Chains A and B, each alone.
Chain A
Amino acid sequence: MSVPGLIRLGDNALVLGQRLSEWCGHAPALEEDIALTNIALDLIGQTQLWLGLAGGREGAGRSADTLAYHRDAWDFRNLLLVEQPNRDFAVTMMRQFLFDTWHLEVLSALSAHTDPEISAIAQKSIKEVTYHLERSTDTVIALGDGTEDSHARMQCALDRLWPYVGEMFTTDGDDLTDMAALRPAFDAHVMATLAEATLTRPASDFAHQGGKTGVRHSEHLGHMLATMQVLPRSYPDAKW
């Protein structure tokens, strides 16, 4: 049964896409605003593919929109990392870098999946995510190895977000690929980038968990969903 695994992939893309769209009109420079919202758009597009497939296979008449707008926080299966608030540009870009590095590995594994519909979505998404990772890697290096202030803020962002890395590599029968097996490739890219960015990997590998299982989301998810879902919940038959 692939539906729970598809919902995890769709929810990650949806929640991070929504988070990034909060920057629209607020980013530190026009180019950054455009880049963040382009990435948000790619992720929402990928959400439609993953949740559309999940809803179709579930066979209960739920579309991608139904899944996105008519579930509450406890039914979401996204990683805790992606629901973390944007805070400043450093936290936003560090979160993006950690997610993109993991995301590209996941999609590469899924592009060889025996299920042709899953591999098709993965192959489509890889093309987009390759650009996301190129940009977030460049930005982490530029800001980490930048001014005293940008360096300090990037290190602070890394320290804040590192406890959310471990959950990406927990794995169970619902996952469509073995997430634990992706850790060495993730570590290799992250360590090489941090070295170039003059940033230090936090010593502790303590990991918050409970997002992808839905057991314990952070308080931030509910607030985000309240904004994201208000229109379709207030006007259930609205069309746009």
Chain B
Amino acid sequence: MVNTRATIDDVWAWLDQVPDPEIPAISLVDLGVIRGVEWQGDTLEVTITPTYSGCPATSIITFEVESALRGHGIENLSLKRQIAPPWTTDWMSDAGRTKLEAYGIAPPQPAGGPACCPLCKSPHVEKISQFGSTPCKAQWRCTDCLEPFDYFKCI
């Protein structure tokens, strides 16, 4: 039991330590799925917007948020799912985009395809499929280093 309420900034910092279950290189805050954190009386309300409607990670994300906040002593917690406005890759943080690329996943681009190969940085890339190993990714290939790589789809 905490004697004083945690500050909103503390909660955001804690959530920024929770890795995305599918892409652990980035946090849930980097991913942009945490849409709001506020105290309603003595209950902490956290609003989560799912990425894709059928993404199996959604329920795990909810679970991870709950266990992280309980671990920091939050007792009264309300998790709210919000689908409007729909999640967009525009909500991904700049830190998240940098971490994605370092991890080998090309970050989303408004042009609809990766800017360059995340491995050798060549701009010569081609699409293999609009779909990949998770709902949020597509499969691309570098025509210079010939490595296939994941591209985080822009939606």
B84 touches A135 (CB 8 A): no
CB distance from B94 to the nearest CB of A (A): 22
What residues of A have a CB within 8 angstroms of the CB of B139 in the complex? 31, 34
Query: Are A124's CB and B86's CB within 8 A?
Result: yes
Residues of A within 8 A of B88 (CB): 127
Most buried by A among B56, B84, B85, B155: B84
Taking a contact as CB atoms under 8 Å apart, the answer to whether A124 and B129 are in contact is no
Tell me whether A187 is interfacial, beta carbon within 8 Å. no
Q: Closest Cβ of chain B: how far from A119's Cβ, in Å?
A: 8
B84 touches A127 (CB 8 A): no
Interface residues of B in 81-129 (CB under 8 A from A): 83-88, 128-129
CB-based contact A46/B53 at 8 Å: yes
B55 lies within 8 A of chain A by Cβ: yes
Known contacts A49-B83, A120-B84; is-contact A125 B128 (Cβ 8 Å):
no
Interface residues of B in 48-74 (CB under 8 A from A): 52-56
Chain B CB within 8 A of A157 CB: no
What residues on B are CB-neighbors of A44 within 8 Å?
54
User: Please, what's the 1-or-0 string for B115-155, where 1 marks a CB less than 8 Å from any CB in chain A?
Assistant: 00000000000001111110100010000000000000101
Q: Which residues of B contact A119 (CB under 8 A)?
A: 84
Q: B133 contacts A34, CB within 8 Å?
A: yes
Do the beta carbons of B52 and A135 come within 8 Å of each other?
Answer: no
Tell me, yes or no, whether A121 is within 8 Å of chain B by CB: yes
Whether A34 contacts B53 by the Cβ 8 Å rule is: no
Q: In the complex the two chains form, is A45's CB within 8 Å of B53's CB?
A: yes
> Are B86 and A45 touching (Cβ within 8 A)?
no
Interface positions of A from 20 to 47, Cβ below 8 Å from B: 31-32, 34-35, 38-39, 41-46
In the assembly, what is the distance between CA of A41 and CA of B57, in Å? 12
Question: What's the nearest-Cβ distance from chain A to residue B21, in Å?
Answer: 15
Q: Please state if A120 and B130 are interface contacts (CB–CB under 8 Å).
A: no
- Collect the chain A residues with CB atoms within 8 Å of residue B83's CB: 49, 120-121, 124
B84 touches A46 (CB 8 A): no
Chain A contact surface mostly: helix
Instruction: Tell me if B54 and A45 are in contact (CB < 8 A).
Output: yes
CA–CA, A119 to B86, complex, Å?
11
Contacting residues, chain B, for A39 (C-beta < 8 A): 131
Q: Is residue A206 contacting chain B, with contact meaning CB distance below 8 A?
A: no
* Residues in B neighbouring A65, C-beta threshold 8 A: none
**Given known A-B contacts A41-B54, A41-B55, A120-B84, A34 and B135 have beta carbons under 8 A apart:** no
Closest to B55 in A: A45
Complex CA distance for A127 and B49, rounded to whole angstroms: 14
A116 contacts partner chain B, Cβ-Cβ < 8 Å: yes
Contact status A127-B130, CB under 8 Å: no
**Are A46 and B133 in touch, CB under 8 angstroms?**
no
Chain A to chain B: the 8 pairs with minimum beta-carbon distance, closest first: A45-B54, A45-B53, A120-B84, A35-B131, A41-B54, A38-B131, A31-B129, A124-B86
Given contacts A31-B129, A41-B54, A131-B155, 18 further A-B contacts (CB under 8 A): A31-B128, A31-B139, A34-B129, A34-B131, A34-B139, A35-B130, A35-B131, A38-B132, A41-B56, A42-B52, A44-B54, A45-B53, A119-B84, A120-B84, A123-B85, A127-B155, A135-B130, A135-B131
Residues of A whose CB lies within 8 Å of any CB of B are: 31-32, 34-35, 38-39, 41-46, 48-49, 116, 119-121, 123-125, 127-128, 130-131, 134-135
25 contacts between A and B (CB under 8 A): A31-B128, A31-B129, A31-B131, A31-B139, A34-B129, A34-B132, A38-B131, A38-B132, A39-B131, A41-B54, A43-B54, A45-B54, A46-B53, A46-B54, A116-B84, A119-B84, A120-B83, A123-B85, A124-B84, A125-B53, A127-B86, A130-B155, A134-B130, A135-B129, A135-B130
